């Protein structure tokens, strides 16, 4: 590429920084001054001018969102070479180092990272066991003391020290590390293993760091060790935006860097390309008298825009909310400002939560960056608990949290009490409680289904790729989602395809043909999103590029058929039920998305026990039978009576008709069980109600006889039946009756297992069919738009899928509508109106799109990136990735107002910004005025940081910033912020009447 032409787009300050020699450089870059462009240009300059191999460049940012933007923009210029550059957060880099060198720091190969909530839960658990009062408050103090001890070398008080030791033992036992340990263990690795440090010094010959003011002492030491030999380090910082001292960030690292790397000249970026000058001036006044690297530094706007700054006073919060809603509607309707160009910022989460409830009522689309990260969302939290327990079934802390969510507090407390009374583990108490006759049948079924779902997922984990496991978890947590497709799938018919499932590889391209470019475009987009691979539009000119092994999907006949050895004429499955091209493509896609692989169940053993009673913890075995199945056919049987050496209950005799006399000469279990274990070998072991009965008895006898526990993966067919038919009877008798099966001599073990095998094959077929029919709901909006464009809504399946995808298509969360409109020069508002008209014409039900579904879509999309890894590695790395996400990573590119804390707004920009809470003790926060063990900095230091926080908020706005103040907020009288008084001359003051 022509590097000189690229450099021509930089201003003088940016150009000087980008083209500087390969030596330590400090760039102080104010808000909106083009620092990301400068970092990208520097990387390109290193590659093109200095001929540095891309894999020798380490670019560190402080959010995944920033890293993704960096990668995306580098790809535009460097193409595939960009993928060889490490662009990521500091913690993700350190995690990569630790995974590669896990043995040297005594970590398990598949260690994972525990998030803040897990740390808090663990510390609270330790405190509870020590009968400490006020555990929530004390847990936070202990966690902070531990972090300060590690990152700031502060001594641990004796009590915190003893808690810390127990905390560490728990993490080690469960192969976990916490957020701080990611850095500490990396530092330890580099300090204790010089050869490893030298490898990374040699590997990364250029280091670039963004948001350097947010690094802590440990991060700085790691950076210094990596860069002190080659000294090719490019650091971008802005001390005016240093707002994270309370969590360990050390802005003094800037001065330390100047000293350690002997920086003679600091580079400055001072031209602001974002905000109008009045906004910049107001923001800079806020910083007056703060401690700055360059006190006289001035940011100058290059935008010749009229800007408005105003402050509005209210008596009540309701007046404030009413004003904000009207203002946003005015901007959107009168000034044609898109919702995604508007942000409401606030100092406390609860302000945003109140706004969110009113936005919902007023139907204003919004997205909220609340909590620490994506894992804080209730749906993601539930999913992650399942995943964490699958990773480590012995982690009682995770089991407790999952039980509380899935079973409810009342039932959870009962099980906890049971464990306490009997002095047994929570896991054992759960299993006992699930079969105890004291509980109603409804409660027992609920508990047994919960246990069975978990056990099936844990046991079958190794059979799945990670994205398949993810989908299976989501499918099993039925209560989590509102599924429009599950409500409509009975309107779909089974389709007959020449070959259902295809293997995709990098060596095999996928082509799609339709004569209408917009239909072909929608189809390509849908497949790329769903399969995570490139899909190419086929036409007369491109046909020469098709290779014989390529897969060609034909939505219409193509004149040059056959095109490849793998042509798939999908148009042939059109009929009276389905006419839409996107419908037939979607139906094919559903087969590709299925997770139930019938090969998992090619080899298995079904077994059944007849017993002396119905208590699995005491009952003896009177008969045991099993069938060995290969590819659906029974190839071998096992059957024997067993002398239980105890009396058979009369109730049990009435069921299986085996008397004490029948078994008196039978072999005892110690003779039978070794033969049975040899028969089952290592096959998948299936039982009906196994987790609540058969598996418990089998394990009990294996323990009593001191036999080696078999390694079989286990599966309970009752759980599959309950998931398929949640409100129906699912015993073997009920299922046999439902499917009209000949049951033979029911309740004799061999007849039972033969019937159960037939039932299991039918259930498997039903589960696969239902999974196929309900797969891919997140992509139904593509089908809805395609069917609308082709006007095929009179066909039953086309209309059903249009209904399924319509709610998302009309919502701000749509992934395709606005993109389609922009690509084909259509007016999005007109498209929306036309979609509403067609909805009314066909009398279709229109619901608000359930944004919770968006979380499932995001989970599925993220999971695809880990599916090439072994599943244990994928689980560990996915959990670590989620633990490292921050609030900005929650935000999506949708047309919605952003509700953000001032902290979460950093790095973002908006046309219009409203800053709520401009009262003293909110901005600045009340903690500034308190002597606080958690933050022992002097008051002026804390006050300076609050000024910088407001500076960050103000400089998010391009053309308008509005401050709002409420005299009576949270039930207390408030004065206006002293910061507002400093900028009064620049602000239009209004009082709400």
- What would the pLDDT profile of 590-645 be if each residue is shown by its tens digit? 888 876 666 778 899 999 999 999 999 999 999 999 999 998 899 999 999 999 99
Length of the chain: 993
Check residue 866 and give left, alpha or beta (phi > 0: left; psi -120 to 50: alpha): alpha
What's the CA gap between 491 and 224, in Å, rounded?
Answer: 64
User: Which pLDDT score is estimated for 548?
Assistant: 87
* The two three-digit tokens of residue 798, written as one number: 């086309």
User: Which pLDDT score is estimated for 371?
Assistant: 47
Closest CA to 383 of 992, 930, 859, 970: 859
pTM as predicted: 0.84
Who's near 618: CB < 8 A, 6+ residues apart? Answer: none
What's the CA gap between 288 and 568, in Å, rounded?
Answer: 69
Q: Which CATH number fits domain 300-373+886-991: 1.10.230.10, 3.40.640.10, 3.40.50.300, 3.30.300.130?
A: 3.40.50.300
> In this structure, are strands 267-269 and 25-29 parallel, antiparallel, or unpaired?
parallel
Query: Residues of 599-621 as b/e, b for ≥16 C-beta within 10 angstroms?
Result: ebbeebbbbbbbbbbeebeebbb
Q: Is 248 annotated as a binding residue?
A: no
**Which CATH superfamily, name and number, covers 598-773?**
Ribonuclease H-like superfamily/Ribonuclease H (3.30.420.10)
User: Which pLDDT score is estimated for 376?
Assistant: 72
What's the CA gap between 655 and 645, in Å, rounded?
Answer: 19
Sign of CA dihedral 969, 972, 978, 983: positive
CB 804 within 8 A of CB 780: yes
What's the CA gap between 924 and 979, in Å, rounded?
Answer: 8
What's the CA gap between 389 and 458, in Å, rounded?
Answer: 8
Who's near 95: CB < 8 A, 6+ residues apart? Answer: 113, 182, 880, 884
Query: How far is CA 124 from its chain centroid?
Result: 25
* Number of CB atoms found within 10 A of residue 850's CB: 17
CB 471 within 8 A of CB 860: yes
Question: Across the strands, what pairs with 685?
Answer: 605, 714
CB 679 within 8 A of CB 629: no
Question: Across the strands, what pairs with 901?
Answer: 346
CB 912 within 8 A of CB 342: yes
* The two three-digit tokens of residue 438, written as one number: 């004291």
Distance linking the first and last C-alpha atoms of the chain: 61
* The two three-digit tokens of residue 546, written as one number: 């098709």
Who's near 379: CB < 8 A, 6+ residues apart? Answer: 480, 481, 852, 855, 856
What's the CA gap between 78 and 47, in Å, rounded?
Answer: 9
CB 922 within 8 A of CB 979: no
> In this structure, are strands 300-303 and 972-973 parallel, antiparallel, or unpaired?
unpaired
Please report how many Cα atoms fall inside a 13 Å half-sphere around the Cα of residue 233, on the Cβ side: 26
Catalytic, 330? Answer no
User: Which pLDDT score is estimated for 505?
Assistant: 63
Q: Is 33 annotated as a binding residue?
A: yes
Closest CA to 580 of 660, 492, 505: 492
3-state secondary structure of 826: coil
What's the CA gap between 297 and 284, in Å, rounded?
Answer: 9
CB 565 within 8 A of CB 548: yes
Low-confidence ranges of the chain (pLDDT < 50): 371-372, 480
Closest CA to 73 of 899, 686, 61, 52: 61
Domain with CATH 3.30.420.10 in the chain: 598-773
* The two three-digit tokens of residue 755, written as one number: 């019937």
Would you call 330 exposed, middle or buried from its count of C-beta atoms within 10 A (0-12, 13-18, 19+)?
A: exposed
Instruction: Give whole-number Cα distances, 361 to 325, 373, 813, 903, in Å.
Output: 11, 25, 18, 27
What's the CA gap between 48 and 659, in Å, rounded?
Answer: 87
Place of tokens 């407001």: 950
3-state secondary structure of 670: helix
User: Which pLDDT score is estimated for 140?
Assistant: 87
What's the CA gap between 58 and 203, in Å, rounded?
Answer: 9
> In this structure, are strands 57-61 and 206-209 parallel, antiparallel, or unpaired?
parallel
Domain with CATH 3.40.50.300 in the chain: 3-105+180-269, 300-373+886-991
CB 589 within 8 A of CB 637: no
Cis peptide before 924 (omega within 30 of 0): yes
Q: Is 31 annotated as a binding residue?
A: yes
* The two three-digit tokens of residue 645, written as one number: 């050496």
Which of 688, 747, 940, 974 is labelled catalytic? 747
Instruction: Give whole-number Cα distances, 863 to 387, 472, 859, in Å.
Output: 12, 12, 6
CATH architecture of 3-105+180-269: 3-Layer(aba) Sandwich (3.40)
3-state secondary structure of 640: strand
User: Which pLDDT score is estimated for 308?
Assistant: 92
Assign a CATH topology to domain 376-471+854-883: PCRA; domain 4 (1.10.486)
Query: What percent of the chain is helix, strand and coil (3-state, nearest 5)?
Result: 55, 15, 30
DSSP 672-711: HHHHHHHHHTTSEEEETTIIIIIHHHHHHHHHHTTPPPP-
CB 620 within 8 A of CB 644: yes
What's the CA gap between 963 and 945, in Å, rounded?
Answer: 19
Who's near 279: CB < 8 A, 6+ residues apart? Answer: 301, 307, 309, 954, 955, 957, 958, 959, 961
Would you call 937 exposed, middle or buried from its count of C-beta atoms within 10 A (0-12, 13-18, 19+)?
A: middle
User: Which pLDDT score is estimated for 115?
Assistant: 87
Instruction: Give whole-number Cα distances, 470 to 386, 406, 479, 708, 993, in Å.
Output: 10, 18, 16, 32, 53
Q: Is 971 annotated as a binding residue?
A: no
What's the CA gap between 135 and 127, in Å, rounded?
Answer: 6
């Amino acid at each position: 590429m022509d590097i000189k032409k690229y450099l021509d787009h930089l201003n003088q300050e940016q150009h000087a920084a980008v083209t500087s020699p390969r030596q330590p450089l400090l760039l102080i870059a104010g808000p909106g001054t083009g620092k990301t462009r400068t970092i990208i240009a520097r990387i390109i300059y290193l590659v093109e001018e200095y001929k540095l191999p891309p894999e020798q460049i380490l670019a560190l940012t402080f959010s995944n969102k920033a890293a993704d933007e960096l990668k995306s923009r580098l790809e535009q210029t460097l193409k595939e070479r960009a993928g060889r550059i490490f662009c990521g957060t500091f913690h993700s880099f350190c995690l990569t180092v630790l995974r590669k060198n896990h043995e040297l720091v005594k970590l398990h190969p598949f260690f994972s990272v525990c998030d803040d909530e897990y740390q808090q839960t663990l510390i609270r658990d330790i405190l509870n066991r020590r009968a400490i009062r006020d555990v929530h408050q004390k847990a936070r103090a202990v966690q902070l003391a531990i972090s300060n001890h590690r990152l700031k070398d502060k001594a641990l008080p004796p009590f915190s020290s003893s808690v810390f030791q127990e905390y560490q033992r728990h993490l080690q036992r469960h192969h976990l590390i916490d957020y701080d340990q990611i850095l500490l263990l990396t530092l330890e690795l580099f300090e204790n293993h010089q050869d490893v440090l030298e490898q990374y010094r040699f590997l990364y010959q250029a280091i670039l760091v963004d948001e350097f003011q947010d690094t802590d002492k440990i991060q700085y030491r790691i950076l210094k060790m990596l860069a002190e030999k080659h000294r090719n380090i490019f650091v971008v910082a802005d001390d005016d935006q240093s707002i994270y001292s309370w969590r360990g960030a050390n802005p003094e690292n800037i001065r330390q860097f100047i000293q350690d790397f002997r920086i003679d000249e600091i580079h400055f970026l001072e031209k602001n390309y974002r905000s109008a000058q009045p906004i910049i001036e107001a923001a800079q006044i806020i910083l007056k008298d703060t401690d700055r690297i360059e006190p006289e530094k001035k940011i100058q706007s290059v935008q010749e825009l009229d800007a408005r700054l105003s402050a509005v006073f209210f008596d009540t919060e309701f007046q404030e909310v009413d004003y904000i809603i009207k203002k946003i509607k005015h901007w959107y309707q009168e000034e044609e400002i898109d919702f995604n160009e508007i942000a409401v910022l606030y100092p406390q989460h609860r302000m945003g939560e109140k706004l969110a409830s009113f936005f919902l009522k007023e139907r204003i689309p919004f997205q909220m960056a609340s909590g620490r990260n994506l894992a804080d969302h209730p749906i993601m939290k539930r999913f992650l608990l399942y995943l964490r327990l699958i990773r480590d079934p012995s982690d009682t802390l995770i089991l407790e949290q999952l039980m509380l969510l899935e079973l409810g507090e009342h039932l959870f407390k009962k099980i906890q009490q049971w464990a306490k009374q009997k002095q047994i583990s929570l896991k054992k108490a759960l299993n006992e409680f699930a079969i105890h006759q004291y509980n109603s049948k409804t409660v027992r079924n609920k508990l047994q289904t919960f246990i069975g779902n978990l056990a099936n997922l844990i046991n079958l984990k190794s059979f799945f790729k990670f994205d398949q496991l993810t989908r299976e978890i989501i499918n099993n947590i039925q209560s989590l989602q509102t599924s429009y497709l599950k409500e409509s799938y009975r309107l779909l018919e089974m389709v007959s395809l020449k070959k259902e499932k295809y293997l995709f590889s990098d060596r095999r391209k996928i082509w799609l043909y339709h004569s209408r470019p917009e239909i072909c475009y929608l189809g390509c987009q849908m497949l790329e999103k769903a399969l995570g691979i490139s899909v190419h539009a086929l036409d007369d000119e491109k046909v020469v590029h098709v290779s014989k092994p390529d897969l060609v999907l034909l939505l219409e006949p193509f004149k040059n058929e056959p095109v490849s050895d793998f042509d798939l004429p999908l148009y042939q499955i059109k009929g009276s039920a389905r006419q839409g091209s996107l419908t037939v493509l979607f139906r094919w896609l559903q087969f590709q998305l299925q997770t139930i692989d019938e090969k998992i169940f090619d080899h298995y053993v079904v077994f059944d026990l007849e017993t002396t009673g119905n208590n699995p913890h005491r009952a003896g075995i009177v008969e045991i039978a099993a069938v060995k199945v290969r590819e659906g056919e029974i190839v071998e049987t096992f059957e024997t009576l067993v002398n239980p050496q105890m009396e058979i209950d009369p109730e049990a005799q009435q069921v299986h008709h085996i008397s004490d006399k029948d078994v008196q000469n039978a072999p005892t279990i110690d003779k039978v069980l070794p033969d049975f274990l040899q028969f089952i070998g290592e096959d998948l072991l299936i039982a009906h109600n196994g987790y609540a009965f058969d598996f418990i008895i089998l394990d009990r006898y294996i323990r009593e006889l001191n036999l080696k526990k078999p390694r079989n993966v286990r599966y309970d067919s009752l759980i599959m039946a309950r998931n398929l038919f949640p409100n129906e009877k699912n015993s073997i008798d009920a299922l046999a009756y439902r499917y009209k099966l000949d049951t033979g001599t029911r309740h004799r073990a061999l007849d039972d297992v033969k019937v159960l095998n037939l039932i299991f094959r039918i259930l498997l077929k039903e589960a696969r069919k239902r999974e196929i029919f309900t797969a891919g709901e997140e992509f139904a909006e593509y089908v809805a738009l395609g069917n609308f464009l082709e006007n095929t809504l009179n066909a039953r399946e086309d209309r059903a899928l249009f209904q399924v995808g319509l709610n998302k298509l009309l919502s701000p969360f749509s992934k395709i509508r606005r993109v389609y409109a922009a690509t084909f020069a259509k007016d999005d508002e007109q498209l929306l109106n036309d979609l509403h008209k067609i909805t009314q014409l066909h009398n279709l039900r229109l619901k608000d799109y359930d944004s919770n579904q968006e979380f499932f879509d995001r989970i599925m999309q993220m999971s695809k990136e880990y599916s090439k890894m072994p599943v244990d590695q994928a689980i560990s790395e996915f959990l670590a990735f989620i633990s490292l996400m921050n609030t900005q990573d929650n935000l999506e590119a949708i047309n919605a107002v952003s509700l953000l804390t001032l902290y979460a707004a950093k790095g973002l920009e908006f046309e219009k910004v409203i800053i709520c809470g401009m009262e003293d003790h909110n901005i600045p926060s009340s903690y500034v005025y308190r002597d606080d063990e958690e933050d022992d900095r002097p008051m002026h230091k804390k006050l300076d940081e609050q000024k910088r926080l407001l500076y960050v908020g103000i400089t998010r706005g391009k053309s308008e910033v509005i401050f709002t103040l409420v005299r009576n907020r949270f039930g207390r009288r408030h004065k206006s912020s002293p910061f507002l008084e400093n900028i009064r001359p620049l602000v239009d003051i209004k009082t709400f009447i």
